[in-house]
Amino acid sequence: MPVPASLAAIAEAADVRFNGDRPWDLRVHDPRLYGALLRQGSLALGNGYVRGAWDCEQLDELICRLLRSDGNRPLSLRSSLAELARILRDQFSNPQALRRSFVVGYRHYDIDPRVYAAMLDPQMVYSCGYWRQADNLEAAQDHKLRLICEKLELRPGMRLLDVGCGWGSLAAYAARHYGVEVVGITVSAQQASWIGEHLAELPIRVELCDYRQLPARDPGRFDRIASVGMFEHVGRRNDAAFFGTLQRLLHPDGLVLLHTIGSACSTRRTDPWIDRYIFPGGRLPSASQLAVGLEGRFLIEDWENFGLDYDRTLLAWWQNFESAWPRLENDSTPEFFRFWRYYLLSCAGFFRSRQGQLWQVVLSRPERSGSYQSLRPAREEEPTSAQHDAAIEGQPCSA
C-alpha to C-alpha distances, 18 to 25, 26, 39, 126, 350, nearest whole angstrom: 6, 5, 18, 34, 20
Residues belonging to the active site:
347
The single-letter DSSP state of residue 236 is G
Yes or no: say if 190 and 113 are a contact pair by the CB < 8 Å rule. yes
What is the full DSSP assignment across 66-97? HHHTTTTS--SHHHHHHHHHHHHHHHHS-TT-
Pairs from 30-38 (Cβ < 8 Å, separation ≥ 24): 30/54, 31/1, 34/1, 34/3, 34/4, 34/7, 37/7, 37/75, 38/4, 38/6, 38/7, 38/75, 38/76, 38/78, 38/79
Determine how many CB atoms are found less than 10 A away from the CB of residue 21.
8
Yes or no: say if 258 and 363 are a contact pair by the CB < 8 Å rule. yes
